[in-house]
Amino acid sequence: MRRSAARRDAGSISIFVALCAVGLLVVIGIVIDCGGRLRAVERADALAQEAARAAGQQLDPAAALSGGPLVVDPDAARAAAQKYLADNGVQGEAVVAPDGRSIHVTVDGEYDTALLGVISIGSMTVHGEGSAALVHGVGEAENG
């Protein structure tokens, strides 16, 4: 009777180890790919912020020379942001506020998974945002 009980258990540890190994690989894949997506989101935010900064440097010379408030040239600002994003290989949109004193940039993209692509998760969406506002002043920032 002891011998038949031993035969029923033979190989059961191999199945257990195989199942645990598959589960462990899935968990490792989730950690690696979620970390990669987080880095991609951080990069998208940084690119959007830098594109907004580049757009904010496109001052409207006519308004500045006439003594009016400092504002950006909307067309030049959008073009500068788009050029910065294109130079870095991402797609995005720049919006200049109606008063010409702030710029908001959004970046959309995808992160291609490294390990989860094996189980049908090929890519994850990535969204980044950045903005810049014009301020000037010698002693302290002035908004007018």
Cβ 72 vs Cβ 55: under 8 Å: yes
Percent of the chain with pLDDT over 70: 83
Digit-coded pLDDT (tens) for 39-50: 999 999 999 999
Extract the tokens encoding 65: 């020379």
Provide the whole-model pTM.
0.76
How many Cβ atoms sit within 10 Å of the Cβ of residue 13? 9
**Stretch among 8-17, 30-39, 49-58, 80-89 having the lowest mean pLDDT:** 8-17
pLDDT in tens, 73-101: 999 999 999 999 999 999 999 999 999 89
Q: State the Cα–Cα distance between residues 49 and 62, nearest whole angstrom.
A: 26
Neighbouring-strand partners of residue 102: 133
Angstrom distance (rounded) from CA 129 to CA 13: 51
